[in-house]
Amino acid sequence: MIKNQLKTVLLLGALTGLMLFVGQFIGGTTGLTIALILALSLNFIVYLFSDKIVLAMYRARQAERGSELYSIVKEVARKANLPTPKVYIINSANPNAFATGRNPKNSAVACTTGILDLLNKEELEGVIAHELSHIKNRDTLIATIAAAIAGVISYVAAMARWTAIFGGYDSRDRRGGSGIELLVLAVLTPIIATLIQLAISRSREYIADESAARLLHNHKGLSNALLKLEQGTKLRPMAKGNEATASLFIVNPFSGQALINLFSTHPPISKRVEKLNSLKL
């Protein structure tokens, strides 16, 4: 877990460094400051209302307090020393779950009808522990910070592309750069920023997996659940939804793993299961 925590810090540092480099190269501090204010403002709004936005997007309905799902969430939250989050159910055959909310006091866990039909109690407990670990580890905050920085880079790079295309860049710039160099930088940096952002997402998944296993003193429930969810998602991918929300779910609900792991929102299930099975609890 310490290794993945350190990896997150280093990746966030790399993302910040990339932002500062792009800002200095393209427009100095003024342009970067404007882009930073815009990106942070947008992400702050999303951070405050992300739970309502995503729950409404998937037409989630609140679970009854007497349901088995609510009881499992309440018990796992007690073990994690967390307030019981709001519990929602999404009407979808795709077996999946996600957590959302800006902090433990304002959080929610949502499960699809598909996951409730597919998993047994031990496996569902493992999934819920994983999602509550995301809440406890403040992964929503980390994801928001990463998105804000990546947003700044993409915004500044977009301005740079237009500048390079329409010749607004002075080839006699103090750095001696050219419009072609600017265009290359403007195209490559958003890709690099996205890769770093996805790497952060994958590292947080490993941390949540380990946190869940240690919380329950049991890795079998979650590892078995992940294997079932991988197969279930292949058979029943989510028909409706926004692929931008894929990183929220415990497994990618749309098309499974990306062909190239660098572009994947989640680590390979095989590696997640391998790491879980190697834990000494």
Sheet holding 97-103, edge to edge: 61-62, 86-90, 106-112, 97-103
**Angle between the N-to-C axes of helices 220-235 and 179-216, in degrees from 0 to 180, rounded to the nearest 10:** 130
Q: Are strands 86-90 and 106-112 parallel, antiparallel or unpaired?
A: parallel
Helix locations, 137-178, DSSP H: 139-165
131 in active site: yes
Spatial separation of the C-alpha atoms in residues 110 and 49, rounded to whole Å:
16
Q: How many CB atoms lie within 10 A of CB 170?
A: 11
Return the exposure string of 236-275: e unless at least 16 CB atoms fall within 10 Å of the residue's CB, then b: bebeebeeebbbbbbbbbbebbeeeeeebbbbebeebbeb
Spatial separation of the C-alpha atoms in residues 91 and 94, rounded to whole Å:
9
From the candidates 123, 125, 131, 230, which is the catalytic residue?
A: 131
Catalytic residue list: 131
